[in-house]
Structure 1
Amino acid sequence: METSSQVNINSKYSEELAEECLEWIKVITGENIDTSGDMDNFYEILKDGTLLCKLANHIKPGQVKKINESKMAFKCMENINAFLEAAKIFGVPAQETFQTVDLWERQNLNSVVICLQSLGRKAHNYGMPSIGPKEAEKNVRNFTEEQLRAGQGVISLQYGSNKGATQSGINFGNTRHM
């Protein structure tokens, strides 16, 4: 029996996005996996963390030093953890990663999808195919000292004018009765 919070988390899960993630993983790793975005399939394919580690190593060779092929719980969780560390190194923001138990104990597969989507957007930085919307690139502008000084002498119209008005006589809330 799922708790109401579990139902709520699962209702955010998108089979479409999960399928996109699995197809992307298949393209990058070359592994022959079922790319159905069905929750059970998504979980079964990723739960031991081995495919996630292989993905990290395809993005940047040698990123995950040791992939545990063992199906023992702590070994699988070590794999998931190694992948999460790699994802952070690849630039996935902390708020877009997931907790190991989200995947291992199937607590929040939606957060796993979010993390993979985020990683998918970073992949092009490593010369890999990416998924999702392309991220904006930094637009660095270089101004000369002269240009910067020129901007300091301007009184912006955004500051407006109060045409001599003051704030005297303005009371907020209840005034003091004496």
Structure 2
Amino acid sequence: MSTAAPSLQYEVTKKMLAKRDANVEMQILSWIGQVLGEKVPTGPYEDVLSDGTLLCRVMNKLKPGSIPKINESGSTHFKLVENLSNFLRQAQKFGVEEHDLFQTTDLIDKRNIPAVTNCILAVGRAVCTERCKNVYRLVIVIFLSQCYLHPEYKGPYLGPKPAEQNIREFTDDQINASKSMATWSR
């Protein structure tokens, strides 16, 4: 029996796999197919997305003409990185926050697929506002609805509406009244 500890890479890979949700990945591929109006190629999630062509085509559907040149599958490694870079740049212009973007190596080298998933979900969130009223836990729901950042887009969207800012302002009387209330103390 070996007493050697598992390698750090093994632990990192194990942790990354635990972050993945096959159901969410399947729903993302379904959403991509609905946006494009065609069947998405079958295969592992990360392999289907790895060349960036589907992501670029989705972005062109969401924001027509945003990526004028898409390098097709089978292109050189540099061209595939260019596809992903173009998608990420346009996703940010589309309304995806910088912290929701992934690095090109996350997908090409399959280093951080959950980051890719989060980015695509952020693109879906950037599209529309409506969400399922019966959500008891975070479930990805695909609906046709009205869009909030891009009202010109009338297609399917992905995920729940992002939270909106809710600023509360109190009068001086309310603040003074709260000071006289009992507080928890130890």
The answer to whether the superposition gives a TM-score over 0.5 is yes
Q: Which residue among 39, 44, 48 is the counterpart of 1:41?
A: 44
Structure 2 counterpart of 1:53: 56
Q: Is the 8 A contact 1:28 1:129 kept in 2?
A: yes
Query: In the alignment, which residue of structure 1 is the partner of 2:180?
Result: 160
1:131 CA displacement? 1.5
* Residue type at the aligned position of 2:116: V
| Structure whose residues are more often helix by fraction | 1
Report the RMSD for the aligned CA atoms in angstroms.
Answer: 2.7
Unaligned runs of 5+ in 2: 1-6, 129-146, 182-186
The equivalent of 2:96 in structure 1 is 92
Please name the residue that 2:11 is paired with.
4
Q: Find the partner of 1:134 among 161, 170, 174.
A: 161
Question: Which residue of the partner structure matches residue 165 of structure 1?
Answer: none
Gaps of 5+ in 1: 142-147, 162-178
Identity %: 34
Pairing partner for 2:123 from 119, 125, 130: 119
Aligned residues: 151
What are the Cα deviations for residues 84-133 of structure 1, in whole angstroms up to 9, with x where unaligned?
11111111112211110000101111111111111111122332321111
One-letter amino acid matched to 1:157: A
Q: TM-score, normalised by structure 1?
A: 0.74
TM-score w.r.t. length of structure 2: 0.71
Residue 15 in structure 1 maps to residue 15 in structure 2: no
